[in-house]
A = this chain, B = another copy of it.
Amino acid sequence: MQGRGSLSARPILIAIIGFGKIAHDQHVPAIRDNASFQLVATVDPGEACLPDVPHFPTIEDLLGSDCEVDAIAICTPPQIRQRIAQTAIMAGKHVLLEKPPCATLAEIAALEQSAQDHAISLFTAWHSRFAAGVAPAKAWLADKQIRSVKIDWREDVRVWHPGQTWIWDAGGFGVFDPGINALSIATEILPRPLLLRRGALQFPANCDAPVSGQIELEDSGGMPVALNLDFLQTGPQTWDIAVETDGGTLILQQGGAVMHTPEGTHHGEDCEYPAIYRHFADAIRQGRCDVDIAPLRLVADAFLRCRFERVEPFYE
């Protein structure tokens, strides 16, 4: 890589590993629209993904080839991310991790240590934090007294995750796959750390991950946060966060894309993945890591602290 010159003077050569729906729909266009990156390879056990991009079945095949690469975006199911990321870090590649960054907290802790040891940039990409309403919401809340928060994240898994059987396996997170997006926004816009106090999770009788949950959190000052998750919502879909304050109610809707306050409504363009890749390029060029485990830690805390209920089996 050094033979090709500094990364500040040329595009960052990037490969995508795990070529499912999110890679195709979001990562490829965001990379292709960003002059800081050049997409040089895809890696997936399936067939070649893009007609004009070299393809490899495994990361070992990529690293053993003469395809030059500076950075890796990992979009596989979470259960196998840590091994791939560890291999990439050991080879000196910068790493972007789709959310959730790993299947466990020890895995992401080990990767962070390894990234520091090898002086590479590791980025936990919480895409919902880049939704158009999130930064304005954080700014609006900064001078308010927050009284309570209500998070409703209810979607139809059959519509949004067709064929993604891994989501129901142990380590697949179930309804926390979307729910962790809500937690990534809440931990970004609220000023104090969130603690999970109690709750209940419902597991279908044939699944190792929950289909719904009702969770009570509070911030370190005792401010209550209610989290309601449902993966079987038909009809209108709901990805809302409502924050009651001394200055009125803020509502983030559509997964953070739209913000309502007493002063009016803020709409923005869908900018999550373009913003993620601008952020990743900055982290690489500044030689820093950007690892935040707070959303994943709250999901682990939910599994650790909630009651478990068995409910009827789920069939797609």
Interface positions of A from 85 to 113, Cβ below 8 Å from B: 86, 103-107, 109-110, 113
B170 touches A300 (CB 8 A): no
Stretch at the interface among A47-55, A132-140, A152-160, A194-202: A194-202
A106 touches B297 (CB 8 A): yes
A106 touches B308 (CB 8 A): no
Q: How far is the CB of A196 from chain B (nearest CB, A)?
A: 5
Answer yes or no: A147 CB below 8 A from chain B CBs: no
Q: How far is the CB of A201 from chain B (nearest CB, A)?
A: 10
Which of B104, B208, B308, B310 is the one whose CB lies under 8 Å from A301? B104
A208 touches B308 (CB 8 A): yes
Answer yes or no: A166 CB below 8 A from chain B CBs: no
A109 touches B304 (CB 8 A): no
Residues of B within 8 A of A28 (CB): none
Residues of B within 8 A of A308 (CB): 170, 203, 208, 308
Answer yes or no: A11 CB below 8 A from chain B CBs: no
A301 touches B203 (CB 8 A): no
Residues of B within 8 A of A40 (CB): none
Answer yes or no: A307 CB below 8 A from chain B CBs: yes
The answer to whether A301 and B195 touch (CB under 8 A), given A170-B307, A307-B208, is no
Answer yes or no: A220 CB below 8 A from chain B CBs: yes
A106 touches B208 (CB 8 A): no
B82 touches A305 (CB 8 A): no
Residues of B within 8 A of A82 (CB): 195
Q: How far is the CA of A124 from the CA of B178 in the complex (A)?
A: 34
The answer to whether A300 and B105 touch (CB under 8 A), given A82-B195, A170-B306, A305-B170, is yes
A304 touches B310 (CB 8 A): no
Answer yes or no: A57 CB below 8 A from chain B CBs: no
Residues of B within 8 A of A194 (CB): 106
Q: How far is the CA of A198 from the CA of B208 in the complex (A)?
A: 12
Which of B106, B113, B193 is the one whose CB lies under 8 Å from A196? B106
B193 touches A109 (CB 8 A): yes
Residues of B within 8 A of A86 (CB): 220
Which of B170, B208, B297 is the one whose CB lies under 8 Å from A109? B297
Q: Closest residue of chain B to A298, judged by CB?
A: B106
A110 touches B195 (CB 8 A): yes
Most central of A114, A220, A298, A304 by chain B CB within 10 Å? A304
B195 touches A304 (CB 8 A): no
Q: How far is the CA of A159 from the CA of B193 in the complex (A)?
A: 39
Answer yes or no: A224 CB below 8 A from chain B CBs: no
| 8 cross-chain CB contacts under 8 A | A103-B305, A104-B196, A104-B305, A105-B297, A170-B305, A170-B306, A300-B303, A304-B304
